[in-house]
Amino acid sequence: MNWKPTLIFAIFLVLLRLAIGWHFFIEGTIKVESFAHGVSLKEKPWSSAAYLNESSGPLADFFRAQGGDLDNAALARLLAPTSDPNDKSLPPALEKEWDAYFARFKAENNLSSDPTQLQLAEGKVKQAKERAAEWLRGRNPKDVYEIERPLTNTTVKLERTSRQRIEEYRDLVAQIHMIEQKELPSFAYPVRKDLPTLKAEARALRNELTKDLDKILTEPLDKLLTPEQTGKKKEREAERQVRPEIPWRDWIVAVGLVVVGAGLLLGFVTRIQCWLGAAFLLSVYLAMPPFPGVPENPKVEGHYLFVNKNLIEMLALLAISATPSGRWLGLDGLLYALNPFRKRPAADASTQAAAPAKI
């Protein structure tokens, strides 16, 4: 059966392809431009980490691993390897990170040229590690913080040691994981409305603890620098903020969106572009699926159940891939016309069959 689309059908299908291509192209272009502009007062380079870390549904752990689970990384730095109060060891992740920081600090400030300054800096690092071991275990009576907790129509101030704050954060993360791994996969109503609140509390507590811990190392080292070294250090930090390191996955996503969008607009290898775009949309859909019992994406407009705009656009691309849309309007038509190995039209074959055989 040789199915031929009507003209109006072909026109609307091409317009659908162009609309999706424009959507991909603009989305990718904005992301690539954000990499070039760096950090400003109004915006930062686009990053997939925030979206991946907010993943929900059955595949949440997989997507968070791609973005780097911030809670697991923070707990690896905050949880002491032993409960022995006399133990002065640090978590391996923290020890490795601080050693890398000091090596970079020493090289950038050229401490090797001044043996006295280098010796003082090494002593400060040793003291900072001992101080951090106390802080992680809550041994120092000075490590008491006054925090506010909500109460009915008011707030109450409580005193918590550094260890108690770490344990509170650990328990909060465990509660969130329990909800996501045991309650949400059942896809049952009612949806846990408190999950976004718990995540916000964990995020705030993680930032506070990380900041307090890192100050133990950075503040003593910064005090050893000369005014000239301090000025250069601020310049380097400002440059790193303006031109931050972009993860390879973000580059691939941004450039891939531009390539797929341009390919759909130009009608170039259209089927492959449709499949690539559909695969990307499927990954976005699975990262935050609109399943029953799964919290809704807070940034999405409207309400969805099983079907959302990502799924609809993915199915549209798959439908376009089943048609020769690029030949109707696009570079695929030119490539097809110039291809010497293309199949000959069926009409020519029937004409030859009808022609009388030569004797």
The answer to the question of residue 232 being in a domain is yes
Q: What is the mean pLDDT of residues 226-234?
A: 90
83, 188: one domain:
yes
Which pLDDT belongs to residue 151? 65
270, 142: one domain:
no
64, 204: one domain:
yes
pLDDT greater at residue 249 or residue 351: 249
The answer to the question of residue 358 being in a domain is no
pLDDT tens digits, one per residue of 258-287:
999 999 999 999 999 999 999 999 999 999
What is the CB-side half-sphere exposure of residue 311 using CA atoms within 13 A? 12
Which pLDDT belongs to residue 42? 57
User: Domain limits at 300?
Assistant: 7-41+249-345
Which pLDDT belongs to residue 109? 92
pLDDT of residue 350 exceeding 70: no
220, 107: one domain:
yes
Q: Which of 246, 264, 296 is the last residue of a domain?
A: 246
The answer to the question of residue 46 being in a domain is no
Which pLDDT belongs to residue 35? 87
265, 303: one domain:
yes
> What is the residue-averaged pLDDT of the chain?
85
Q: Which of 198, 223, 246 is the last residue of a domain?
A: 246
Q: Please report, rounded to a whole number, the percentage of residues in the chain having pLDDT higher than 70.
A: 85
145, 99: one domain:
yes
pLDDT tens digits, one per residue of 142-197:
888 887 766 667 777 788 899 999 999 999 999 888 887 776 655 554 555 677 78
pLDDT of residue 236 exceeding 50: yes
Number of domains in the chain: 2
155, 220: one domain:
yes
pLDDT tens digits, one per residue of 59-82:
887 888 887 788 989 999 999 887
pLDDT tens digits, one per residue of 78-121:
998 877 777 889 999 999 999 999 999 999 999 989 999 999 99
263, 142: one domain:
no
Q: What is the mean pLDDT of residues 276-300?
A: 85
75, 155: one domain:
yes
The answer to the question of residue 50 being in a domain is no
Q: What is the mean pLDDT of residues 35-58?
A: 77
The answer to the question of residue 18 being in a domain is yes
Asked whether the bond before 115 is cis by omega within 30 degrees of 0, the reply is no
The answer to the question of residue 121 being in a domain is yes
Which pLDDT belongs to residue 312? 96
Q: Which of 246, 271, 306 is the last residue of a domain?
A: 246
pTM for the whole thing? Answer: 0.74
268, 335: one domain:
yes
The answer to the question of residue 352 being in a domain is no
pLDDT greater at residue 5 or residue 264: 264
236, 257: one domain:
no
The answer to the question of residue 337 being in a domain is yes
253, 239: one domain:
no
